[in-house]
Amino acid sequence: MKSMKKETLATYALILVAIFWGLGFPALKVVSYSIPTFYLIGLRFLMATALLIIIFFKKLKQLDKTLIKLGFVLSIFLFLCYVSATLGIKYTTSAKASFFSCLGVLMIPIILRIFCKEKIPKYVIISIAMCTAGLFLISYSRDMGFNLSLGDIICLTASVTGAAHVVIIGRYAYDMDPVLLAIVQLFFISLWGFGVGFFFEDFPGSIPTFHILVLIFLAIFCTAMAFVLQTACQKYINPSRVGLIFSIEPVTGAMFSTLLLGDHLGINGLFGGALIFISLIYMEKAKKPELQEPDPE
């Protein structure tokens, strides 16, 4: 029973993470006007790293080589995911970028099947199909259709690297401290951001106060808190289900963009968002309790 309660709480926490990341879309849109891409990644993740170090300073004594190596590998996948999504949107529409960047819901079970020989339950397959249809409705445009452009291909890279990140955490980070693993990942991502930015971008001479506040919000809620929750909660949830939960990110992103930036979601988007939420409800109702070892407590 305790394991089931932990799984339920972890599900709610991951939904909160997806909401934070969805809110991050309009926040990034605002702050990107004054800060170049790679320096934005560097600043955002450095601030998040500093916050976690201040709060959990005593935990740093528990760092070991195994955790640092895993955090290093995870940071590469996550950095590539952020870079691909950011660059891809420059060469395609934002709607299509949202669709292709969030195809991790399909990529995760494929990766699990190919590399981990893991069987995907029927209810997850049905949920994935419903979710994919929802993402299609959110992203489809009569004018643009689905012609595969350079930006679409780049955004697909974001889906693959993001899905790989989820799978690796689910397979190898079970016994590791989620806070420490988040700190290591965020620290390395900040290094990659500043490193690439140093060679290809100019550091902004001045940043508006409002943009600094938005950047702080991104660092605290969409980065530090979100990645600690993700790492901690994936101990209790199968990676395929994590991908489905995270599929609400483009839905919340579209909703917040409509409310805060005046973007138009459209009737297709409303139906697509509803279908994604229905797929998540179906997944939760249809899943069968797995045999679990009794809690040691």
Number of other residues whose CB lies within 10 A of the CB of residue 81: 22
In-domain check, residue 296: no
Strand intervals (E) in the chain = none
Does the pLDDT at position 289 exceed 60?
no
What is residue 29's predicted lDDT score, i.e. its pLDDT?
76
In-domain check, residue 25: yes
Highest-confidence segment of 11-25, 70-84, 147-161: 70-84
What is residue 265's predicted lDDT score, i.e. its pLDDT?
60
Q: What's the CA gap between 292 and 294, in Å, rounded?
A: 6
As a whole number, mean pLDDT of residues 31-58 equals: 91
In-domain check, residue 88: yes
As a whole number, mean pLDDT of residues 70-75 equals: 94
Q: What's the CA gap between 34 and 40, in Å, rounded?
A: 9
Into how many domains does the chain fold? 1
In-domain check, residue 40: yes
Residue recorded with tokens 């697509």: 272
What is residue 80's predicted lDDT score, i.e. its pLDDT?
93
As a whole number, mean pLDDT of residues 236-260 equals: 76
**Which residues span the domain enclosing 21?**
2-286
